[in-house]
Structure 1
Amino acid sequence: MRTDRQAARARWAVAAMFLANGFVMGAWAPQIPLLMPRHNVTESVLGLLILVLGLGAVTAMLFAGRLIARFGGRLVLSVFSLALIPVLPMVVFSPNLWLLAAFMAIFGAMVGCMDVAMNAQAVEIERRVNRAIMSSSHGFWSLGGFFGGSAGAWVIAHRGSEEQSLLTAAVVAVIVFGAMPFLLPSDRAARIPANAPKGPRLFPKDVHVWLLGFLALFAMVPEGAVLDWAAIYLQKELGSDVFVSGLGFAFFAGAMAVMRFAGDGVRNRFGAVRTLRVSGLLGAAGMMGGALAPWDWLAIASFAVTGLGIANMVPILFSAAGNHPRLPSASAISIVTMVGYCGILVAPSTIGFLAEHAGFRPTYAGLSVLLVIVALLAARAADADGARRLPPAEARPA
Structure 2
Amino acid sequence: MAVSGLFFLNGLMVGSWAPKIPVLMERLGISEATMGLIVLCMGIGSVTMMPVFGALTARRGSTYSVRLAAILATPVLLLMSLAPNLWTVVITVLMFGATIGGMDVAMNANAVAVERARRRAIMSSCHGFWSLGGVAGAGLGGIAITYLGEVGHAVVLTVVLAAGLALVFPRLLQDVPSHADRASTPLRLPNTLLPYVIGLVALCCMIPEGAILDWAAVYLQRELGASLALAGWGFAACAGTMAVMRFLGDVIRQWLGAVTTLRISAVIAIIGLAIAGLSSSPVAAIAGFAVAGFGLANMVPIAFSAAGNLPGMANGVGLSVVTTMGYSGILLAPGSIGFLAEYTSFSTIYFGLALLLLFPLAMSRLMKTADFG
Query: Normalising by the residue count of structure 1, what TM-score does the alignment of the two structures yield?
Result: 0.79
1:35-114 matches, cutoff 5 A: 39-42=29-32, 45-91=34-80, 96-114=85-103
- Assess if the C-alpha contact under 8 Å between 1:120 and 1:190 holds in 2: no
Q: State the one-letter code of the partner of 2:207.
A: V
Partner of 2:192: 206
Decide whether the 8 Å contact of 1:77 with 1:114 is kept in 2: yes
Once the two structures are TM-superposed, the CA of residue 374 in structure 1 deviates from its matched residue by 1.4
Is structure 2 residue 182 aligned with structure 1 residue 182? no
From 218, 225, 228, give the equivalent of 1:240. Answer: 228
Aligned counterpart in structure 2 of residue 116 of structure 1, from 105, 120, 125: 105
Aligned match of 2:322: 336
Map Cα deviations across residues 103-147 of structure 1 (whole Å, 9 max, x no partner). 222121111110111111111111111111111112211222233
Q: 1:359/1:301 Cα in 2 relative to 1: closer, same or farther (>3 Å)?
A: same
The correspondence for 1:283, drawn from 262, 266, 269, is 269
Specify the alignment match of 2:123 in structure 1.
134
Q: Structure 1 residues 245, 149: closer, same or farther in 2, change over 3 A?
A: farther
Deviation of the 1:181 alpha carbon: 1.4
Cα distance change of structure 1 residues 170 and 364 upon mapping to structure 2, 3 Å threshold: farther
1:223 counterpart = 2:177: no
Higher RCO (CA < 8 A, seq sep 6+): 1
Q: Per-residue CA shift, 1:215-240, capped at 9, x if unaligned?
A: 11111122233445556767888553
Number of equivalenced pairs: 370
Alpha carbons 1:120, 1:189 under 8 Å: kept: no
Give the Cα–Cα distance (whole angstroms) in 2 for the partners of residues 275 and 348 of structure 1: 28
SS at match of 2:310: coil
Q: In the alignment, residue 15 of structure 1 is paired with which amino acid?
A: S
Q: 1:96 offset after TM fit, Å?
A: 4.5
Give the residue type in structure 2 aligned to 1:240.
L
The 5 Å alignment of 1:378-397 reads 378-385=364-371, 388-389=372-373
Compute the TM-score of the two structures, normalised by the length of structure 2. 0.83
Answer whether contact 1:47 1:348 (CA < 8 A) is retained: no
Contact 2:206 2:329 in 1 (8 A): yes
Q: Is the alpha carbon distance of 1:248 and 1:188 closer, same or farther for their aligned partners in structure 2, counting shifts above 3 Å?
A: farther
CA RMSD in angstroms comes to: 3.6
Residues 113, 175 of structure 2: 8 Å contact kept: no
Query: Aligned partners of 2:333, 2:20: CA distance in 1, in Å?
Result: 19
Paired with 1:348 and 1:100, the residues of 2 have a C-alpha distance of: 22
CA contact 1:191–1:329 (8 Å) conserved in 2: no
Q: Percent identity?
A: 43
Q: CA deviation at 1:356?
A: 6.5
Q: Give, as a single letter, the amino acid of the residue that structure 2 aligns with 1:172.
A: L
* Partner-residue secondary structure (3-state), 2:168: helix
C-alpha separation in 2, matches of 1:94 and 1:346? 28
Which residue does the alignment assign to 2:313? 327
Deviations, residues 370-389 of structure 1 (Å, cap 9, x unaligned): 2232123212212111xx13
Q: Which letter maps to 1:20?
A: L
In terms of mean alpha carbon deviation, does 102-111 or 309-318 score higher?
102-111
How far apart, CA to CA, are the structure 2 residues paired with 1:190 and 1:350? Answer: 45
Shifted more, 376-385 versus 221-230: the winner is: 221-230
Segments of 5+ residues of structure 1 without an aligned counterpart are 1-11, 390-398
After superposition, the C-alpha distances for 1:155-212 in whole angstroms (9 at most, x for unaligned) are 56787766655554444333222211111123229996xxx99323432111111100
